[in-house]
Structure 1
Amino acid sequence: MVPDRTNPRWKSLVSGELSIPYTLLATKFLMARLTRAAKADPSAGNLSKLVDEAYTFFQTNEKIAAKDLQAIFG
């Protein structure tokens, strides 16, 4: 199950505070892009948008990204 968007780990994830060794290539690419976007614009509005994008990705790909979800939210 994908944790709720309000879980503080989402913000830590997209901001780059969390460094996770992802197993899924798509997750690696997505998180690299989201982290770059967060560093370029760390405003609350942008971080919220990036969290929404990460959440949607994991919600859509929950089965294939299960190992990455486990690594993030353990």
Structure 2
Amino acid sequence: MIRRVLAAAALTSAVLATVPAAAQAAPLCRAGYMCNTQYFSDAARTNLVGVKTEFCDGEVSIWGRTTGYITWSASPCG
């Protein structure tokens, strides 16, 4: 029984260790705004690996991959 508990604890620790400590979630894009989310491979944000752009007309453009390291911006539609 104790081995199962220890195995479960070790597995949980391993899973949690794979989630970046500085991971962020992109904010929601509000109506009336164009939003751009850039995804980077590391916390220093030196290697761009993906982009998501949400346009004023509701169209969404996505390329690359998503990560927990982002920069996010929003501009009013006009």
Query: What's the TM-score, normalizing by structure 2?
Result: 0.23
Task: Compare relative contact order (CA 8 Å, sep 6+) and give the higher one, 1 or 2.
Answer: 1
**Higher Cα Rg: structure 1 or 2?**
2
Structure with greater helix share of residues: 1
Query: What's the TM-score, normalizing by structure 1?
Result: 0.24
Structure with greater strand share of residues: 2
